[in-house]
Each structure stands twice: as C-alpha cells, then as structure tokens.
C-alpha cells in the first residue's frame, strides 16, 4: 500500500474497532470446545443482538413463527454455524451500519452484496471440495468488501471522482478505484490488519479481485472472486452498473461450467430467503 494512503488512513480517526461479539465468535471458531452453550453465552451479552437473532428465528421462513422465545431454541432452529455467521454479520452491521447513501450506493445494498457473496462462497466451497471449509468461506464473503465502508465514509471526494471515472470508462467500480489509486481492497486489508484478522482472511480482503497475486492463499481468494462475480451478475444487493461480459472461472478451483450453473441455480433459489431474513435483521 502506498505510504501516502497509510498516512491518510491513520489520520482518519473514525476507524471502527472490531466488534467485541465478532471477536468472541472468531475465537470460538478456532476453539475445539466450541458448542451451543458457549455461543449462547456470547449472544446473551448483547441484548440487541439477542433480539435480532430471535426475530430471525421467528421469521416465517423457518416455520416456527412466534414460537421461539429463547436463544438456545433459536440456535436449534437456525443451526449452529448459521448462528455463528449471523453474529458476525450482525455485529459488522452494528459497527458500520448507518444508513448512508452515496450516488445510489447504500450501506444496505453493500451489506446485501456481502451476504450474497458469503452465501455464494459457501456454496462454491461445498461444490469444489478441495479441503475448503465452507463455513470459513462464508465468513470471508461477509468480510471481503469491508474496505468499501471505510472508502465511502472517509474518502467522499475521491469516491466522487471514482464514480465519474467509472461512468467515463464504463468499467466496474473496483477498476475505477485502481485507476484512481485508491482501492477498497487495500483499505480493507489495512482494517483487517488493525483488527488482527488471520493472514488468510487478510489475503482474501486484499486479493479477492486478483486471486493470482495471493500466493498460497489463491484458492480461497478464487472462491470469493467467483462468488463476487456471480452476485454482481445476479444483482444481489448493490451491483456494478458496468460489468465484463462473461464470468471468469479461476483454474485453481477445478470447477466445471456445469458446477457454476448449479451454484447459480442455488443462489437464485436462496435469493428471497437472503433478503427476507437479513433485511429484517438490518431493520429494513
């Protein structure tokens, strides 16, 4: 990252700290003794989060509307991994979640995009096998664009120029950012470092638009890269106005075109569920 950008980021004193609940869940994910009881304890420390988890468990989608009154019941209904991911997602929304709107790009749109990429990454990981941990891929998908929230908050004048460049060159926003010399991937990697996220997580944040540069973390970056392209194509949440024609299928994933079609079908089937449960959790 250019030193001038580091200086600008250091000056920006509004960088959010890592949400405490997210920190606790990431620790849990690494612990072998992780169980429903420990997860329940984390949720109980945060009443707002607890209320949101109950709201989701009571949504019609899960078929137990109005019957879930305890966190332990919610964990049974939603599933252990699902709840872990919800906690990470919801605590990130709390950290970044003011409802800003910048030239048509809203915080909510960016979140729905992240949640879509998380889901698509999990589905791709399941299909690719290769020793991927689908749950970990979900978390990576949630985090991949965290730099965008900082970019939109802290560099508004630059974003205006980037948006203009995007229109002039009819290119994706990430390409316009690179041309302007300020990329959400670099900003996100800076935040990931501040938050002391794992090396692998940091690689994904930095290289999800160019997985080949990621060295040994290339396969994970490739999962998120493919998931990101699919969500833009399917317009899940915020999507680029100008997109390349096809979808680049990274060789490192050893997936066939048919596999990608299957994943697209699954994402389409999950699309409504995604926006329903998360939109209500976001308060929208």
Binding site residues, Fe ion, CB under 5 A: 145, 228
Contact of 231 with 239, CB cutoff 8 Å = yes
Query: Considering beta carbons, is residue 136 or 228 the nearer one to Fe ion?
Result: 228
Contact of 243 with 172, CB cutoff 8 Å = yes
Query: Considering beta carbons, is residue 46 or 228 the nearer one to Fe ion?
Result: 228
The SS3 assignment for 265 reads helix
Query: Considering beta carbons, is residue 46 or 136 the nearer one to Fe ion?
Result: 136
Compute the least distance from the CB of residue 176 to Fe ion, in Å. Answer: 12
Compute the least distance from the CB of residue 181 to Fe ion, in Å. Answer: 16
Residue 237 gets the label, from left (phi > 0), alpha (psi -120 to 50) or beta, of left
CA 179 to chain centre: 24
CA distance 66 to 117: 30
Compute the least distance from the CB of residue 119 to Fe ion, in Å. Answer: 13
Compute the least distance from the CB of residue 228 to Fe ion, in Å. Answer: 4
Query: Considering beta carbons, is residue 53 or 112 the nearer one to Fe ion?
Result: 112
Query: Considering beta carbons, is residue 132 or 238 the nearer one to Fe ion?
Result: 238
CA distance 49 to 67: 18
CA distance 122 to 281: 21
Compute the least distance from the CB of residue 174 to Fe ion, in Å. Answer: 5
What angle (nearest 5°) sits at the alpha carbon of residue 166, between those of residues 165 and 170? 120
CA distance 81 to 153: 31
Contact of 116 with 231, CB cutoff 8 Å = yes
Query: Considering beta carbons, is residue 82 or 228 the nearer one to Fe ion?
Result: 228
Compute the least distance from the CB of residue 133 to Fe ion, in Å. Answer: 20
């Amino acid at each position: 990252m250019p030193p001038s950008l580091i200086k600008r980021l250091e000056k920006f004193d509004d960088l959010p700290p890592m949400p405490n609940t997210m920190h606790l869940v990431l620790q849990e994910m690494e612990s072998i003794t992780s169980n429903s009881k420990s997860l329940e304890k984390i949720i109980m420390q945060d009443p707002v989060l607890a209320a949101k988890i109950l709201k989701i468990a009571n949504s019609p989608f899960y078929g137990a509307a109005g019957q879930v009154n305890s966190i332990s019941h919610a964990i049974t209904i939603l599933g252990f991994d699902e709840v872990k991911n919800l906690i990470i997602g919801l605590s990130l929304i709390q950290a970044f979640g003011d409802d800003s709107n910048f030239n048509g790009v809203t915080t909510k749109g960016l979140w729905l995009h992240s949640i879509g990429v998380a889901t698509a990454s999990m589905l791709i990981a399941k299909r690719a096998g290769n020793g991927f941990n689908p749950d970990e891929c979900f978390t990576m998908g949630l985090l991949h664009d965290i730099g965008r929230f900082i970019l939109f908050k802290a560099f508004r004048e630059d974003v205006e120029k980037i948006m203009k460049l995007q229109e002039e060159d009819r290119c994706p926003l990430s390409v316009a950012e690179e041309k302007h010399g300020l990329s959400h991937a670099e900003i996100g990697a800076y935040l990931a470092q501040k938050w002391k996220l794992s090396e692998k997580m940091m690689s994904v944040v930095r290289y999800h638009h160019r997985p080949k540069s990621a060295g040994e973390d290339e396969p994970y970056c490739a999962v998120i890269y493919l998931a990101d392209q699919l969500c833009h194509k399917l317009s899940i949440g915020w999507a680029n106005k100008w997109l390349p024609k096809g979808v680049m299928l990274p060789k490192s994933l050893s997936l066939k075109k048919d596999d990608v079609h299957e994943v697209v079908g699954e994402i389409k089937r999950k699309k409504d569920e995604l926006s329903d449960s998360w939109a209500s959790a976001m308060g929208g």
